C-alpha cells in the first residue's frame, strides 16, 4: 500500500511539473519579420533596398495576420479566419514578388514550396501521439 501511494504521488508530481512549464515566449512582429527577411535574403541575395522594402511588407502582413487571429479566437468561423490569413499572405507575396528580379522570383517560388513542405512535416499526424 505504501509503495502504491509513493508511486501515485511520484506520478502526480511529475505530471504537475510537466504542465507547469511555461511555453516559449512569443516573438514580436518585428522579430518574426526580421527572421523572415534574413532567411529570404540568404536564399535570394536581396539588395539592401529590397530587404528594407520586404521588411516593411512583411511587418505589415504579420501585424494584419495577428489582428485576424485575435479576432478569430473570439469567433467560431475558423474557415473564414484561415481564408483571411491566406489572403493576407498572398497579398504580401505578390508585393514581395513585384520587387524581385526574374531569377529571384523563381528562387522565391522554390523557397516557398520548400517552406510549405517543412511546415507540413512539423504538423502532428492525425491519430498519432503528440
The model's pTM is 0.72
- For the record, the C-alpha cell of 103 comes out as 531569377
Report whether 16 contacts 8 (CB < 8 A).
no
Domains of the chain, by residue range, sit at 27-115
The model's pLDDT over 65-99, given as tens digits with 9 standing for 90+, comes to 999 888 877 767 888 888 999 999 999 999 999 99
d(CA 114, CA 120) in angstroms, rounded, equals 10
Measured N-to-C along each axis, helices 29-44 and 48-74 cross at an angle, to the nearest 10 degrees, of 140
The model's pLDDT over 17-39, given as tens digits with 9 standing for 90+, comes to 555 556 668 899 999 999 999 99
Report whether 128 contacts 64 (CB < 8 A).
no
Report whether 111 contacts 44 (CB < 8 A).
yes
Amino acid at each position: 500500500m505504501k509503495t502504491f501511494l509513493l508511486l501515485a504521488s511520484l506520478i502526480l508530481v511529475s505530471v504537475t511539473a510537466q504542465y507547469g512549464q511555461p511555453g516559449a515566449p512569443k516573438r514580436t512582429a518585428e522579430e518574426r519579420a526580421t527572421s523572415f527577411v534574413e532567411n529570404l535574403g540568404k536564399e535570394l541575395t536581396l539588395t539592401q533596398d529590397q530587404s528594407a522594402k520586404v521588411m516593411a511588407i512583411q511587418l505589415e502582413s504579420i501585424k494584419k495576420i495577428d489582428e485576424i487571429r485575435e479576432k478569430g479566437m473570439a469567433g467560431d468561423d475558423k474557415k473564414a479566419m484561415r481564408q483571411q490569413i491566406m489572403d493576407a499572405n498572398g497579398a504580401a507575396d505578390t508585393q514581395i514578388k513585384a520587387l524581385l528580379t526574374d531569377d529571384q522570383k523563381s528562387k522565391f517560388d522554390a523557397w516557398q514550396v520548400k517552406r510549405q513542405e517543412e511546415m507540413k512535416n512539423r504538423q502532428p499526424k492525425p491519430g498519432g501521439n503528440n
